[in-house]
Structure 1
Amino acid sequence: MSLLTYSVLLVLLYTVKVSGEACPNGWTRHDASCYFFVDIHETWQDASAHCEALDSQLASIQSEREDVFLRNTLHQLHVHDSTARVMYWLDGTDIATETEWTWAYSEEPITKYTHWCPHQPDNANANEDCLRLGKFCDFGWDDGDCETKEFFICERHDKEYVYNFVLMGWYRHHFNS
């Protein structure tokens, strides 16, 4: 077995071990993140602070796969709720510049993936600057007044998991030339 093959196998084994670690009690793993679905009503800013206190941030949705996971989980959590008025804060905001949505924690523009409810975002009453998931439209995306108290989702990224993808890329770059 060549040194390169052995090195790559070690990296792959380490990545599998790290990405298989359990999430903290009460959190749910999906891919490289752990999610905590908080059933306390908070403003967007207080929800963000709550997540930070848990060494996480409000969830940001980067792909359809992640969106479907979150929507399915919320459907399971609220299968017996008769009201459509169930909302969950996410990390998105356009408070800096109206209609320019960004993920607050990373400051990345929300351009890769979106799943807005029909006719959203609408900035109703000219003060809807925070992103939430709404049961009224199958937990699609809705802009809401940041001062409204809603449930929220915290996300903790598996830093080691991401680090190992970078490390594997470094190996490929240096040994596959």
Structure 2
Amino acid sequence: MKVPSVILILLFSAIQDSAESCHVGWIQFQEKCYFFSHTNATWFEAGYTCLQFNSKLAEPKTVAETNFLKSHSQSLDRTMWIGVSDIIEEDRWVYSSSQEVVSHTEFGPGEPNAHTAQNCIALWRDFHGQWADHTCAAKEYFICEEIIQSDPVDVIG
């Protein structure tokens, strides 16, 4: 029996769509999935927790991504850690997973302001989600991100 090719295409599309979605409790934006924590942690603990989920602290690399994270953190009314710091070199803000220098920052008014006392970045609730440098040992909520991976689909026939 021959299966019409339209049915095979629809079946393949359905399988592919289900393979390219986020885990329960995560939110998709563009090609990434985000987890907005329900618990507080230091910046280091937050990074470790994200690793346990095979992800990393969120590293916004586009204006659209930054706006999405700001908006969602504000809807939760929380200050939230992201994966940006100047721990290695003062005033050189880098993504924690790659040490790549951040090209687009979103600091709030008067930020960054604490020099060597505050080296980790949070989306600051009182600044409507704009960035603020903060003491890494402070306990805040956090955002994990993972890139959506397409699972290979076995085609039989």
Deviations 1:105-159 (Å, cap 9, x if unpaired)?
Answer: 0211012x111001111126x3100011001111000000000000000001124
Tell me how far apart the structure 1 counterparts of residues 35 and 42 of structure 2 sit (CA, whole Å).
17
- How many pairs does the alignment contain? 139
CA RMSD of aligned residues (A): 2.1
Q: Which residue of 1 aligns with 2:108?
A: 117
Point out 4+ residue stretches in structure 1 off by more than 3 angstroms. 17-20
Tell me how far apart the structure 2 counterparts of residues 159 and 121 of structure 1 sit (CA, whole Å).
35
What secondary structure sits across from 2:108 in the alignment? coil
Q: Which residue of 2 aligns with 1:134?
A: 124
Tell me how far apart the structure 2 counterparts of residues 67 and 20 of structure 1 sit (CA, whole Å).
26
Normalised by the size of structure 1, how large is the TM-score?
0.72
Deviations 1:82-123 (Å, cap 9, x if unpaired)?
Answer: xxxx31000001010000010010211012x11100111112
Tell me how far apart the structure 2 counterparts of residues 25 and 58 of structure 1 sit (CA, whole Å).
18
Residues 99 and 31 of structure 1: is their aligned pair in 2 closer, same or farther, counting only changes over 3 Å?
Answer: same
Question: What stretches of structure 1 of length at least 5 have no aligned partner?
Answer: 1-12, 79-85, 162-177
Tell me how far apart the structure 2 counterparts of residues 29 and 19 of structure 1 sit (CA, whole Å).
13
Match of 2:86 among 94, 104, 110: 94
Q: Is 1:154 aligned to residue 153 of structure 2?
A: no
Normalised by the size of structure 2, how large is the TM-score?
0.81
Point out the structure with the larger helix share.
Answer: 1
Question: Equivalent pairs: percent with the same residue?
Answer: 30
Tell me how far apart the structure 2 counterparts of residues 103 and 19 of structure 1 sit (CA, whole Å).
30
